[in-house]
Structure 1
Amino acid sequence: MMQQGIVRGRNETSAKSLWPFMGAAFCGKLTVNTAKRMMYPFAPAIARGLGVDLGAVTAVIALNQASSLAAPLVVMLSGRIGYRLLLLYALMLFCIAMTAAGLIPVYGIVMAAFLVTGLSKSIIDPVFQAIAGTLVPFEKRGRAIGIMETAWAGSSLAGLPLTGILIERLGWQAPFWLFAALSLACFYAVLSLLPRDMPKTKVPRNRQGKRSLLPETWKTVLKEPAARQMMLFAFFICLANDNLFVVYGIWFEHSFNLSLTAIGFGAVLIGLSEVAGEMFTVFFSDRIGLKRTIISGTLAVSLCYCLLIWTGNFLWPALISLFMVFFTFEFTIVSSMGLATELLPQHRASFLSLYFASTGIGRLVGVISGSFLWEHAGLEGVCILSGTVSLLGLLALLKRPG
């Protein structure tokens, strides 16, 4: 049933045949997302556990985001070994990395583990987006992408609060063991549910019928103005978000004297906002139109960043403003994913890999800028930059090719 559903073409594919695998995919994405995001709210605790300063942990976060630059290589790998093996390799590599971080509390090992976490996510995300773009009709794609991306919200809603409890009660290494166990379970789920003969990515060919080199495919994609505009939008909108998110933990710890468990449960609010944003995408983005949703969402998130300047010193107003920031950002970025899947259907996998690389570069720059601005300009400087670059992203998206 599962195998038949995947092998059939887009118009013949039964949505029901995808649900068992999507459940396993959700679990795997939830685990990797939680591991990737744990450094943001718990950076001070991990720095104390490793005996290093906060700047050293920020470097780990930046390295984690830099690993997103590997996303374009997914196209080449999926064309050679197929989606199934690629996912299995990513999950097993992640499991080994988490086990090593749990066993060996050394800065270099932990840094390597988070680099592997970023690499694993860089493999998992574009592969699933490409599958959705291939199997789900465009008029329903916003809903499909929204459902898949609830794993990102789930990391804040459930993963980070549990991580905070584990760190406070069992030590900062305890979450790594949980991540290793969950990723191993997901490995066996994917091994069982995904058919061996799932189609591989079609590697583009040149006029002579020979396989094109991957950089040649990128050149084809980058010649398209719409592709460049979407990549710039993804860069700016993700820069803005991580510029704020990287200081979230230290901001709440210093300004409101919250415990690790409280900071972890504060992430529940972020998770709820992300779920709300994803559900907005599921139920409304296709009706409103993906581009209209993106435009309105970008304007709204820019305003919400600015509101934090006045509410950031008061706990409940700050929490409400933070909820609105992540709600508006989430339905904006998820809607942009849906639109990205249809921009260049003939080069979908290549473009999506470059799109995710753009988000990764944006987040990398955001981590660096947020840490710098927090030290030199405080929360106000962080929020002003986030609001400004969000608007720059919108201008890049709406610019008419000239």
Structure 2
Amino acid sequence: MRAASHDPLLIPLLSLGNFVVGVAAFSIVGILEPLGADLGQSAAAAGQLLTVYALAYAILSPLMVALSGRIGRRRVLTAAALLIALAAAISALAPDFAVLNIGRIIAAAGAGIFTPVAAAVAATLSPEDRRAKVLAAVFFGFTISQVMGVPIGSWIAYTFGWRWTFWLVTLLALPVALLIWLRVPAGLKFQPVRMQDLGEVILRGRVMLAVLFTSTFLGATYVLYTYIAPLLSQTMGYGRDGIAFILLVFGCGAVCGNMLGGYLADRFGWRVTLAGLCLTQIVIMPLYSLLPVSTAVLIAMSFFWSFFGWAFMAGQQMRLVGMAGSQAPVVLALNAAAIYIGAAVGSALGGLVIATFGIIAIGLAAGIAAALALLHLEVSARLSPAPATPS
């Protein structure tokens, strides 16, 4: 078995795959208005496309990773990339909302296989002393999709039509599938997650309570983030360029927060770090219910909202790995699913708030949801087993 270091293209390729996954998943945020207008759907109704995707990912990812454990990794990753390409093509050609939702479910299935399997391949083919850096490099593509993919997809949708954003995903995913077939070693097999392992962890109530903090924290974020484009359009009068720019600012904040999160968790421990990040979200997100504000204030709000929001993952993973022991791979797989559960619940809740109180209320609703996430953190911290890492 050759090491990943002997193939300098493999890790960038897997990172590129995660970039495509991120664009496929979250570009919907930047195209809600043109998509909804074309298909005759309100912003709240169009936002449920993210809910459907997230629920499908959360359900399908652990199951499909477990069921595909005996198949060669090259075949699994190639099939996953092709699924994403197919799903994007179906979405681009969708005549109505029902077909578009089918496309989103297929995309979630492909993404739900690709991301965890890519991480497992990178870890397996890398020297142990470089494994953490290699995994960070593989996931860097997903983070960069927030900086580049989402605003670019939004700009394309407002300029040429929302269907072209999905065609972009297809055009990106097809060469990724081909390159994976050419670069990933043939015959690479292992069983990262078994159905039995999943069942055992799910039955550990205190561990699952800790895992689901990921859902409540990100759920609060997605109450607001899912509908940021129509909110900016209706309150700030922004069109294509303004919305794409604020999404770019948000993405830059996400990258900076992602990089700082590990330092914060190492310096202050997971509990203090996560509680502090909840408090920042409680303060910042209700400010969006005060729009319109000056562009400078909006830029600062958006950067720091994203910065503190995306800094949470390192502390949460530190906590879960310390609790899980030998079952850490399974717990981290469930934590990845919990991300999408949070996105699903948050986008659904945001749609309900818009339908009931109007779009201006989603900032305040997101702040209330962040307060509930802080309560969840404190309750789960008291009930959870003490982690192996210092807190």
| TM exceeding 0.5 | yes
Q: Which moved more, 1:357-366 or 1:389-398?
A: 389-398
Q: Does residue 1:355 correspond to 2:355, yes or no?
A: no
In structure 1, the gaps of 5 or more residues are: 7-15, 205-213
* Deviations 1:44-87, CA, capped at 9 Å, x for gaps: 11011223333431232211111121122133233221432221
One-letter amino acid of the counterpart of residue 149, structure 2: G
Residue equivalent to 1:166: 156
Partner of 2:389: none
How far 1:200 sits from its partner (Å)?
1.3
Quote the residue 1:325 is aligned against.
305
Deviation at 1:130, TM superposition (A): 4.0
Change (3 A) 1:139 1:225: farther
Match of 1:91 in 2: 81
CA change 1:292–1:255 in 2 (3 A) is same
Does residue 126 (structure 1) correspond to residue 116 (structure 2)? The answer is: yes
1:399 to 359, 382, 387: 382
- Asked if the contact 1:82–1:201 (Cα under 8 Å) also holds between the matched residues in 2, the reply is no
SS in 1 for 2:189: coil
- Compared with structure 1, are the counterparts of its residues 141 and 392 closer, same or farther at alpha carbon in structure 2 (3 Å cutoff)? farther
126 and 393 in structure 1: CA distance in 2 versus 1, 3 angstrom threshold: farther
Q: Deviations over 1:324-365 (max 9, x none)?
A: 121111121244245545643533443233222222222211
Is 1:100 equivalent to 2:90 in the alignment?
yes
1:255 is aligned to 2:245: no
Q: What is the rounded CA distance, in whole Å, between the counterparts of 1:398 and 1:138 in structure 2? A: 31
Match of 2:190, SS?
Answer: coil
Matched, 1:182 2:172: yes
Tell me which residue corresponds to 1:193: 183
Partner of 1:211: none
d(CA) in 2 for partners of 1:26 and 1:202?
A: 20
Hey, what does 1:209 align to over in structure 2?
Answer: none
- Residue of structure 1 equivalent to 2:277: 297
Residue 383 of structure 1 aligns to which amino acid in structure 2? A
CA contact (8 A) 1:373 1:381 kept: no
User: Paired residue for 1:57?
Assistant: 46
Distance 1:232 1:176, change over 3 A: closer
- Verify the 8 A CA contact 1:294 1:336 in the aligned structure 2: yes
Q: Report the CA distance between 1:309 and its aligned residue.
A: 4.8
Shift of 1:370: 1.0
| SS at 2:298 equivalent | helix
Does the C-alpha gap of structure 1 residues 336 and 312 become closer, same or farther in structure 2, counting only changes over 3 Å? farther
- AA of the residue aligned to 1:117: A
Counterpart among 117, 121, 138 of residue 107 in structure 2: 117
Aligned equivalents of 1:367 and 1:56: distance in 2? 10
Judging changes above 3 Å, is the alpha-carbon distance between structure 1 residues 86 and 392 closer, same or farther for their aligned structure 2 residues? farther
Number of residue pairs aligned between Structure 1 and Structure 2:
381
Do 1:141 and 1:338's aligned partners in 2 also have CA atoms closer than 8 Å? no
> Does structure 1 retain, via aligned residues, the 8 Å contact 2:262–2:314?
no
1:21 matched to 2:10: yes
- Equivalent residue for 1:371? 351
Q: Given the superposition, is the C-alpha separation of residues 284 and 355 from structure 1 closer, same or farther in structure 2, using an over 3 Å criterion?
A: closer
CA contact (8 A) 2:70 2:189 kept: no
* Distance change (3 Å), C-alpha of 1:311 and 1:165: closer
> 2:2 maps to which residue?
4
Flag the 1:341–1:66 CA change in 2: closer, same or farther, 3 A. same
Shift of 1:189: 1.7
Percent sequence identity over aligned pairs:
19
2:2 is paired with a residue whose SS is helix
Pair 138,342 (structure 1): closer, same or farther in 2 beyond 3 Å? farther
1:23: Cα distance to partner? 0.7
